[in-house]
Copies of this chain bind each other. A is one copy, B any other.
Amino acid sequence: MVHIFTHSPSVIQQYVAEIRDKEIQKDRMRFRRNIERMGELVAYEISKHLSYEFREVETPLGTANCQILKNDVVLGTILRAGLPLHHGMLNIFDKADNAIVSAYRKHTSELSFEIQIEYMSAPSLDGKTLILCDPMLATGMSMVAAHKALVSHYGTPSHLHVVSVIASEQGLEYTRHHLPQDTRYWIVALDPEMNAKSYIVPGIGDAGDLCYGEKM
């Protein structure tokens, strides 16, 4: 299942317009806030597909039959650009466990690179619902590498959701080819191309730099 948010109307369209706009991008606080809000709203859409159980709750005036989230959600994020997206998801799933992975493009030449996984921290993932997020799905190689590293160290989730703000068509295809078949994809906007440096076009530029400033 692939859900593309910009294929239907919602306020997320407005946020996408703002994070793409190179003038509005100069306001880092708004840029991060827009990514965070997308994380919140995507998390909410995902929550419609999770499991709940009934519980009787005592109110000051009576008893109500309520539904509680079965708390097996693990929010996974790829550093550093994934942090505001992860933060938004944590605003919605405030009791969730968390997995953090660092992945970066180690260049072997100006235009080619491989993905390096360094830092990893996660709970056991066996039988859990893993929501793995990275704002940019360009080649898709980081997402696939992060998933592979997590599964080989921490076990196999029962459900996998992949979240991305901007994905390239090629990156989405690559990811779908390498991740389990029943993975659900939550893509805010799907862009047609990548340039020679594997940046998504028209895209937004470098999400990490826009959130946190340029790296040396």
A residues with a Cβ closer than 8 A to B are 6, 8-14, 16-17, 20-23, 25, 27-30, 32-33, 37, 40-41, 43-44, 47-52, 55, 57-64, 66-69, 74, 79-80, 83, 87, 90-98, 100, 102, 104, 118-119, 121-124, 153-155, 191, 195, 199-205, 208, 212-216
Contact = CB atoms under 8 A, between A and B. Distances in A.
Contact of A100 (B37, B40, B59, B79): B79
Contacts of A100: 79-80, 212
A118 B119 contact: yes
A213 B97 contact: yes
A37 B92 contact: yes
A122 B215 contact: yes
Q: List 7 tightest A-B contacts by C-beta distance, closest first.
A: A62-B202, A97-B213, A17-B66, A11-B47, A102-B119, A60-B205, A13-B67
11 contacts: A8-B48, A17-B64, A22-B60, A29-B30, A32-B90, A59-B204, A60-B203, A98-B213, A102-B119, A121-B215, A123-B214
User: How many copies of this chain does one complex carry?
Assistant: 4
A29 B63 CA distance: 23
Given A37-B92, A79-B119, A102-B118, A21 B215 contact: no
A215 B10 contact: no
Nearest to A6: B67
A43 B12 CA distance: 11
Nearest to A29: B94
B215 A61 contact: no
A202 to B, nearest CB: 3
Given A17-B67, A205-B60, A122 B44 contact: no
A157 to B, nearest CB: 13
A142 to B, nearest CB: 13
A215 B123 contact: yes
A104 B100 CA distance: 13
Contacts of A97: 212-214
Kindly name the residue among A29, A64, A96, A204 whose own CB sees the greatest number of chain B CB atoms within 10 A: A64
